[in-house]
Structure 1
Amino acid sequence: MKDIKLIVENLENGSRLDSYISKQLNNISRSYVQKLIKDGKVKVNNEIIVTKKQKLNENDKIEIEIPEPEKLKLEPEDIPIDIVYEDEDVLVVNKPQGMVVHPSPGHYKGTLVNALLYHSKNLSSINGIIRPGIVHRIDKDTSGLLMIAKNNIAHNFLAAQLKEHSINRIYNALVHGNIKTNSGTIDAPIGRHPVNRLKRAVVEKNGKKAVTHFKVIERYSNYSLVELKLETGRTHQIRVHMSYIGYPLVGDPLYGIKKKKFNLQGQALHAKLLGFRHPKTLEYMEFNSELPYYFKSLLKKIKGY
């Protein structure tokens, strides 16, 4: 059993209960949130709520009881995936925005893992039956490149590179605001948010070292297109760091501006470049992906304003 507590902020005043929870718990689907409400697993100000349309007020206290996940039998699914590279040890895939990397409450089907199980009989087992082959993750609404291990030797080798920060990971993001400096480094520790346990924040106490390097690619009137290079890989690192310095990602439901302007599915963040040493040949390999359609369309809209 997992208990989650949330406090409604001023900007969320008037939000629908199911919509608010699914936005705050962005790794859980709205339909699963509605089931939790229907099953009496959600309280607002200590009262059990059974209507998903309940309107919220500032400072409302929400308690959510999430049952232990069912024991899963993962099913391979014939879902098309964009394979950038493959050999007997490694897969590199270009994940679309909106696809969850591995199963979690509310996302038992349609994940990248389900697709990988259909595509390949060989995936590493180090991370258990829920995450076969998964060495690192990107958020559901972040698109871009991921490396997958097809055996345990490859997995350990790739994971060691992640630990020593030798993997080259470069992202593109569209952020609110016109960044004045051409480049910079954000060196600020990240840990659990002191109030909202689903978020991360820059914190000194119990924070882990987090370093992000950024470079401005192009400036627009109220936005900036930036390139971001990860030195470390904390959860939500880019999203937290850019919000921390006053330039949150466009479309970010957790750390960005609440008012939706472009009807985006999530944050405008794309894992564009991935470079690592191959676990068998030891050669450095580097892969680059184009900005996806949703990102290009967004830039076109921005330029039109």
Structure 2
Amino acid sequence: MLVIDKPAGLPVHPGPKGGPTLTDRLDALRFGLPRRPEAAHRLDRDTSGCLVLGRHAKALARLNRLFADGKVQKTYWALVEGSPPDEGSIDLALARRSDDPRSWWMKADPAGLPSLTHFRVLGRAAGRAWMELRPVTGRTHQLRVHCSAMGWPIVGDAIYGSAGRDGVLQLHARGLSLPLYPKREAIAVAAPAPGHMREGLAACGWSPAETPLPQRTSGLPEIRS
């Protein structure tokens, strides 16, 4: 397993419009193995942070199962517009906006798939909030739709918020906890706050010294910028 800190704006897989992708660069991460590693889960193009790669087919299948079974704990940071409550849960089913299989845009829909997100506010400033989001389910665009539906769209969200197309999404996959071995503690990793979010986070009270990365666990090093 490898865990990388994916930058915002870089898609993981090729899309219909072409352009550079993370997949194009994975051959550089073989480290002696005959095949490149592959992503074990999804991370939106505009979302930065922790992305898990399986180094070979057996590892990838095992990691895929952990994510599919909801055993991986995921933590995101987001800057949102508005004034969410200090903590709570968002329980809104989600469905595709369109029947077009090429469309990934989602909407809140009682007839959709169950979707649950826990949250807490870590800081506030000038009509915005720094939120910690913990998705229990892993639906497409879940955090973006949930925040928007509650009236606190994520800053820079050109689909579900009010940002223009040139806005940078303020959503970061902060950390993961993976129970890779049944009789050992889960492996915890965290990615530092990305450059495009630091000003907004600092305005809400964030300080690098106050949010240290976890100590090394099971031999896996911290992710560094």
* TM, length-normalised to structure 2: 0.81
Structure 2, gaps ≥5 residues long: 206-225
Give, in whole Å, the separation in 1 of the partners of 2:182 and 2:51: 18
> How far apart are residue 279 of structure 1 and its match?
6.0
1:286 counterpart (163, 185, 188) = 188
Which of residues 91, 98, 101 is equivalent to 1:187?
Answer: 91
Question: Equivalent of 2:120, from 194, 206, 215?
Answer: 215
Q: Distance in 1 between matches of 2:24 and 2:181?
A: 24
1:107 corresponds in structure 2 to 18
Tell me, yes or no, if structure 1 residue 298 matches structure 2 residue 200.
yes
Letter in 2 for 1:94: D
Within-5 A mapping of 1:218-257: 218-257=123-162
Bigger radius of gyration, 1 or 2? 1
CA contact (8 A) 1:171 1:271 kept: yes
Q: Any conservation in 2 of the 1:123–1:150 contact (CA below 8 Å)? A: no
Q: Which amino acid aligns with 2:192?
A: E
Cα separation, 1, equivalents of 2:34 and 2:158 = 33
Aligned length, in residue pairs:
202
Higher relative contact order (CA 8 A, sep 6+): 2
Root mean square deviation of aligned Cα: 2.5
2:83 aligns to what? 178
Can you give the 5+ residue segments of structure 1 that lack an aligned partner in the other structure?
Answer: 1-89, 126-131
Cα distance in 2 for partners of 1:243, 1:123 equals 44
Structure 2 residue aligned with 1:152: 57
1:97 aligns with 2:5: no
Contact 1:124 1:152 in 2 (8 A): no
Percent identity, aligned pairs only, is: 32
Selected match of 1:270 from 168, 172, 175: 172
Q: Secondary structure at the match of 2:39?
A: coil
TM-superposed deviation, 1:270: 0.3
- 1:124 is displaced (CA, Å) by 7.2
Tell me the distance in 1 between the aligned counterparts of 2:86 and 2:22.
36
Which segment is superposed worse, 191-200 or 144-153?
Answer: 191-200
Report how far residue 278 of structure 1 moved. Answer: 2.5
Q: Normalising by structure 1, report the TM-score.
A: 0.61
In 2, Cα distance between equivalents of 1:257 and 1:123: 46
Counterpart mapping for 1:75-154 below 5 A: 90-108=1-19, 110-120=20-30, 122=33, 133-154=38-59
Distance between the aligned counterparts of 1:123 and 1:202, measured in 2?
Answer: 43
